[in-house]
Amino acid sequence: MATESLFHDLNVAANNQLLEALVESEARIRRRINLLTEIVFELDADGHIVFLNSAWDTLMGSPSSSVIGQTLEQHIHPEDRSAFDATLKKTRLAHETTRAVLRFLHDSGSTLWTELSMVQFESGYVGALHDITERKRYQDKLEFIAHYDVLTTMPNRILLADRLQQAMASAQRHGEALALAYLDLDRFKAINDEHGHEVGDQLLMALAARMKRALREGDTLARLGGDEFVVLLMDLADAQASAPILTRLLEAISQPVRVGELILEVSASIGVTFYPQTEDIDADQLLRQADQAMYQAKLFGKNRYHVFNLEQDRAARGRHETIDRIALAHTEREFVLHYQPMVNMRTGAVIGAEALIRWQHPDKGLLPPAEFLPVIENHPLAVEIGKWVIDTTLTQIEVWHAAGLRIPVSVNVSALQLQRDDFVAWLRGAMDAHLNLRRGDLKLEVLETSALEDLIHVSDVIKKCRAIGVEFALDDFGTGYSSLTYLKSLPVTQLKIDHSFVAGTLGDPDNDAILGAVLNLATALHRQPIAEGVETIEQGVSLLHLGCELAQGYGIARPMPGPAIPAWVSAWKPYPAWLHHPVISRRPDDNAHAAVQ
């Protein structure tokens, strides 16, 4: 009996020790759990809170003991409770850890963003809540910066593009119209320059708020940058319905604005276009139309709106960039040069290249010269850009020389450049500034029509340029109705036959006869002929048959960036039909025929 009592006492002691150990172990675990910065919870099968660590007190602002027995769902933002129910169900069915991003209600009334992890455990659930409020705020801030203008808090170009796409689709579906207005502030730059960017920013914020108030609910006001805004007017019955809104905008902007002690006044030029249109058009084209109409509003006196005219646009397509924008492109170095090789089709020799300007427009991509040069044809800006072309070409020639490539490069010069009294002196200085140049490295091309406008002056300029090692070519030869006396007086060394003659070499005997006469004329005047615009093998063969060996055009090579020229020269091979063509000699006394040497 004594033995049994002893064993009983030992068992009780052992059990007590085990129980004490378990309690101590659980206490240690709870202490460690309470050190965690994440909320750790345990729920019963019905979702009631059984356990919370002390992180709840810190993050939720209320004692964890006060919420034991409540459901966790009670503390979740009402808009996220259905998501929590779905997560709970998923956890119960999947028997694996599930996760969700949920908003919890802080005791102060604020919102706590959390990342929930939860798993089913015995008859309930255990999980953790990780506070991601700061991360979410940072994400929201990045999202805001990506879609909104930081200064005015208005939508930016990216969000505008998205809304415009949606608005265009909606207008098509519902048979309604929308208006897109491009707005530029008049005199803002002068205020910004005089009073500083801080004042300018205050003015922009005040005007943006005014414009917003002048619009209807649902309209979009976006800032593209600087003092340029775009307004998207939706759900219009017709185009005329936009007039009162645009008038309100102009009136709101033209009212004086107080910034500190300053009273500032600006106005706005607005270009507006409408959608749908009779032709298919995308969002970018619609924005360009509004932009173009805005420039017209400026030209017509500012402080007004101008409606885009599709018929006028067709007539002026390619000329919508204004002189101011082209000047900015020059300042911002948006112009680039491409080079088109010139070759001897029969021998395969690369005899030179022509420098051709392109506009690397930040929004519209690479634009050919026809898109912008006509706008500045008689403007002093043409002279500045012409100087840039020559100087850039001379730099490229030096780069090619260093790479072991020596070919002459031709540059087009305008009549306005040649008429400058200082042109020859400037050209001499530009060449002196580039080392290792030799005579003939640079050639200048002048349009036949331009040269004949002031023959005496142009001839004098050409003679002076030849004295410093620069030869001249007459460009687009055959289109200027030149008299033989004029041509004889013009000291050019090369005649570039206009591409219109080359395009008609196949199957047109009359054109071939004219082209043959042009080549005879070049021979008689001791001028070297070169054909422009050779696009096919057959055109090249026809030219060779007529005795014209030198050519350039897409059939040989498209214009390319300067760094690509050396590799092209190394790889270039003429077509077999050209390479094996017999040599043709033209005699001045044989106008219509050619003799084989």
Nearest CA to 121 among 138, 151, 98? 98
- DSSP assignment of 425-440: HHHHHHHHTSTT--TT
- One-letter amino acid at 247 equals T
325-596, CATH topology level: TIM Barrel (3.20.20)
| Residues paired with 442 in a beta bridge | 409
CB atoms inside a 10 Å sphere around CB 376: 22
Q: Answer yes or no: are the C-beta atoms of 129 and 104 closer than 8 Å.
A: yes
pLDDT in tens, 20-34: 555 555 566 666 777
Specify the residue for token string 């491409």.
338
Hey, which CATH number is domain 20-135, 3.40.1160.10, 3.30.450.20, 3.40.50.1860, 3.50.50.60?
3.30.450.20
Average pLDDT over residues 126-148: 81
Residue 594 has pLDDT above 60, yes or no: no
Written as six digits, the tokens of 507 are: 């199957």
Helix (H) and strand (E) counts in the chain: 22, 24
Average pLDDT over residues 322-338: 92
- DSSP assignment of 544-592: HHTT--EE-STTT---EEGGGHHHHHHH----HHHHTPPPEE--TT-SS
Question: To which H or E segment does residue 142 belong?
Answer: helix 133-147
Give the whole-angstrom CA distance, residue 68 versus residue 26: 19
| Cα four-point dihedral sign 439, 460, 474, 337 | positive
Average pLDDT over residues 550-559: 96
Written as six digits, the tokens of 257 are: 């604005």
Q: What is the pLDDT of residue 513?
A: 82
Q: Answer yes or no: are the C-beta atoms of 379 and 370 closer than 8 Å.
A: no
CB atoms inside a 10 Å sphere around CB 576: 9
Q: Answer yes or no: are the C-beta atoms of 242 and 233 closer than 8 Å.
A: yes
Please give the radius of gyration of the chain, using alpha carbons only, rounded to the nearest integer: 39
Residue 369 pLDDT class (50, 70, 90 cuts):
very high
Nearest CA to 499 among 454, 437, 556? 556
Residue 6 has pLDDT above 70, yes or no: no
Residue 136 pLDDT class (50, 70, 90 cuts):
confident
Q: How far apart are the first and last CA of the chain?
A: 141
- DSSP assignment of 176-224: -EEEEEEEEEESHHHHHHHH-HHHHHHHHHHHHHHHHHHSPTT-EEEEE
Beta-sheet strand order (sheet of 39-43): 49-52, 39-43, 124-131, 111-121, 98-105
Residue 563 has pLDDT above 60, yes or no: yes
148-317, CATH topology level: Alpha-Beta Plaits (3.30.70)
Question: Could you check whether 20-135 and 325-596 share the same CATH topology?
Answer: no
The pTM for the full model equals 0.49
Q: Answer yes or no: are the C-beta atoms of 343 and 398 closer than 8 Å.
A: no
Residue 131 has pLDDT above 80, yes or no: yes
| CA distances in angstroms from 143 to 140, 158, 452, listed in the order given | 5, 11, 61
Residue 554 pLDDT class (50, 70, 90 cuts):
very high
Give the whole-angstrom CA distance, residue 24 versus residue 27: 5
Main-chain dihedrals φ then ψ at residue 323, nearest 5 degrees: -60, -40
Give the whole-angstrom CA distance, residue 312 versus residue 299: 15
Instruction: Enumerate the domain spans of the chain.
Output: 20-135, 148-317, 325-596
pLDDT in tens, 263-307: 999 999 999 999 999 888 999 999 999 999 999 899 888 999 999
Q: What is the pLDDT of residue 568?
A: 97
Q: Answer yes or no: are the C-beta atoms of 506 and 539 closer than 8 Å.
A: yes
Task: Respond yes or no on whether the N-terminal peptide bond of residue 244 is cis (omega within 30° of 0).
Answer: no
Residue 453 pLDDT class (50, 70, 90 cuts):
low
Q: Please give the mean pLDDT across all residues of the chain.
A: 85
Q: Are strands 350-361 and 409-412 parallel, antiparallel or unpaired?
A: parallel
Main-chain dihedrals φ then ψ at residue 132, nearest 5 degrees: -120, 25
Written as six digits, the tokens of 499 are: 């591409």
The residue ranking higher by pLDDT, 121 or 473, is 473
| Residues paired with 221 in a beta bridge | 231
CB atoms inside a 10 Å sphere around CB 411: 21
Burial of 402 (0-12, 13-18, 19+ CB in 10 A): exposed
Residues 6+ apart with CB under 8 A from 395: 434
Q: Are strands 335-344 and 228-236 parallel, antiparallel or unpaired?
A: unpaired
Q: Are strands 220-225 and 257-259 parallel, antiparallel or unpaired?
A: unpaired
The residue ranking higher by pLDDT, 435 or 262, is 262
**Percent of the chain at pLDDT exceeding 70:** 87
Written as six digits, the tokens of 385 are: 């850009």
Residues 6+ apart with CB under 8 A from 273: 179, 180, 286, 289, 290, 293, 307, 308
- One-letter amino acid at 514 equals I
Q: Are strands 220-225 and 228-236 parallel, antiparallel or unpaired?
A: antiparallel
Average pLDDT over residues 62-86: 87
Give the whole-angstrom CA distance, residue 53 versus residue 406: 80
**Percent of the chain at pLDDT exceeding 90:** 45
Residue 455 pLDDT class (50, 70, 90 cuts):
confident
The residue ranking higher by pLDDT, 169 or 518, is 169
Residues 6+ apart with CB under 8 A from 220: 155, 160, 163, 231, 232, 234
Residue 8 has pLDDT above 60, yes or no: no
Q: What is the pLDDT of residue 334?
A: 96
Q: Among 205-209, 314-318, 400-404, 439-443, name the one with the lowest average pLDDT.
A: 314-318
Q: Can you say whether residue 327 is alpha, beta or left, with left for phi > 0 and alpha for psi between -120 and 50 degrees?
A: alpha
Helix residue ranges, H only, 76-187: 81-94, 133-147, 157-174
Q: Can you say whether residue 507 is alpha, beta or left, with left for phi > 0 and alpha for psi between -120 and 50 degrees?
A: left
Give the whole-angstrom CA distance, residue 296 versus residue 308: 9
